[in-house]
Amino acid sequence: MNWFRHSAKRIKRHLLRMGPVGAILCYHRIDDDDNSAQPKLSVSCDNFRQHLQVLAAERYEIVQVRDIADGLATGCLPHRFVAITFDDGYADNLLNAKPLLEEFGLCATVFVTSGALGNPALFKKWYAEPRQDCPRPLTHDELVLLADGGRVEIGGHTKTHPLLAHLSIAEQCSEITSCKADIESIIGRSIVSFAYPYGGHDHYTDETASAVRNAGFTSACVTHAGLVVPHIDPYRLRRHTILDCSGNEFASQLRKIFDA
Ligand SMILES: [Zn+2]
């Protein structure tokens, strides 16, 4: 019995390697300030540069999340691809991450909590003891600069970052549609990618996914781990959380992700 299970797993892995397969990476902040209340959310600038070096050297096709949704819809996904994503909408995504993405000619997707734009109070309330050095969200003007040029796709992450599954469906719809409208009015173009706040199995429901689709988003990301392969549900795109680690550790993590 074990032999059969083992062989089936090997065959599945082999088939996976033959077809298109991709990984979506989930970052939050790129900053050297590891004194913040949530250091696990930060990757240092030097380590992020090393991660980008690995991605550039290993020749994965780097795509944005909207490209993955398009590829799933048309059946034309790249052979081996990686998407770099950031959650919440921190100012350091513009100040630290974008210049490094430009240096390596790579692209990314940033999921923005629209009610936090220019409103540090929303991020501060996440901390048990609000601190002066709480990470700052993007301002409206900074969001425009981040979206400028198309290297960074802007996606939605609700208006106030609630745990959606705990809200009524009407409240969920309001969080999702107002976020889309807010961001689109600031950057002057439509947004199509979404990430559920917190993103775990219990943090969204089938109704949440329908509300996201009905609002006009073509995909939604979660935070549980897994690869992107053809025919998966675009409203449950799995991601791998990347912690602060060296380029060597990142390269080994990436190999494990694709060999899983
Ligand atoms: Zn978030």
Tokens, residue 246: 């060296």
**Does the structure show a pLDDT above 70 at 94?**
yes
**Does the structure show a pLDDT above 70 at 70?**
yes
CATH value at residue 144:
3.20.20.370
pLDDT of residue 41: 84
Mean pLDDT of 159-170: 97
Tell me: the pLDDT tens digits for 166-222?
Answer: 999 999 999 999 999 999 999 999 999 999 999 999 999 999 999 999 999 999 999
**Does the structure show a pLDDT above 90 at 45?**
yes
User: Considering the domain boundaries, does residue 182 fall inside one?
Assistant: yes
What is the whole-number distance in angstroms between the Cα of residue 74 and the centre of ligand 1?
A: 29
Ranking 8-17, 94-103, 143-152 by mean pLDDT, the lowest is 8-17
C-alpha to C-alpha distance for 216 and 172, rounded to whole angstroms? 14
pLDDT of residue 16: 59
Share of the chain above pLDDT 90, in %: 81
What is the whole-number distance in angstroms between the Cα of residue 198 and the centre of ligand 1?
A: 5
User: Considering the domain boundaries, does residue 2 fall inside one?
Assistant: no
Confidence band of 27 (pLDDT split at 50, 70, 90) = very high
The 8-class DSSP code of residue 108 comes to: E
Report DSSP letters for 176-189, one per residue. Answer: HHHHHHHHHHHHSS
Tokens, residue 96: 């630290």
Mean pLDDT of 238-251: 97
Task: Using the structure block, give the residue that is written with the tokens 């600038």.
Answer: 45
Residue-number span of the structural domain to which 241 is assigned = 19-259
Q: What is the mean pLDDT of the chain?
A: 91
What is the whole-number distance in angstroms between the Cα of residue 19 and the centre of ligand 1?
A: 31
Mean pLDDT of 86-110: 97
Confidence band of 6 (pLDDT split at 50, 70, 90) = low
The identity of residue 9, as a single letter, is: K
User: Considering the domain boundaries, does residue 158 fall inside one?
Assistant: yes
Confidence band of 35 (pLDDT split at 50, 70, 90) = low
The identity of residue 89, as a single letter, is: G
Structural domains of the chain, count: 1
**Does the structure show a pLDDT above 70 at 4?**
no
User: Considering the domain boundaries, does residue 114 fall inside one?
Assistant: yes
User: Considering the domain boundaries, does residue 6 fall inside one?
Assistant: no
User: Considering the domain boundaries, does residue 14 fall inside one?
Assistant: no
What is the whole-number distance in angstroms between the Cα of residue 56 and the centre of ligand 1?
A: 27
What is the whole-number distance in angstroms between the Cα of residue 10 and the centre of ligand 1?
A: 35
The identity of residue 31, as a single letter, is: D
What is the whole-number distance in angstroms between the Cα of residue 92 and the centre of ligand 1?
A: 15
What is the whole-number distance in angstroms between the Cα of residue 33 and the centre of ligand 1?
A: 19
Tell me: the pLDDT tens digits for 108-147?
Answer: 999 999 999 999 888 877 665 656 567 899 999 999 999 9
What is the whole-number distance in angstroms between the Cα of residue 12 and the centre of ligand 1?
A: 33
What is the whole-number distance in angstroms between the Cα of residue 3 and the centre of ligand 1?
A: 42
Task: Using the structure block, give the residue that is written with the tokens 């719809």.
Answer: 173
Mean pLDDT of 43-65: 96
**Does the structure show a pLDDT above 60 at 8?**
yes
Share of the chain above pLDDT 70, in %: 88
Tokens, residue 243: 């912690």
What is the whole-number distance in angstroms between the Cα of residue 114 and the centre of ligand 1?
A: 11
Structural contact between residues 126 and 135, judged by C-beta atoms closer than 8 angstroms: no
**3-class SS at 82?**
strand
What is the whole-number distance in angstroms between the Cα of residue 160 and the centre of ligand 1?
A: 10
What is the whole-number distance in angstroms between the Cα of residue 6 and the centre of ligand 1?
A: 37
User: Considering the domain boundaries, does residue 11 fall inside one?
Assistant: no
User: Considering the domain boundaries, does residue 12 fall inside one?
Assistant: no
pLDDT of residue 122: 84
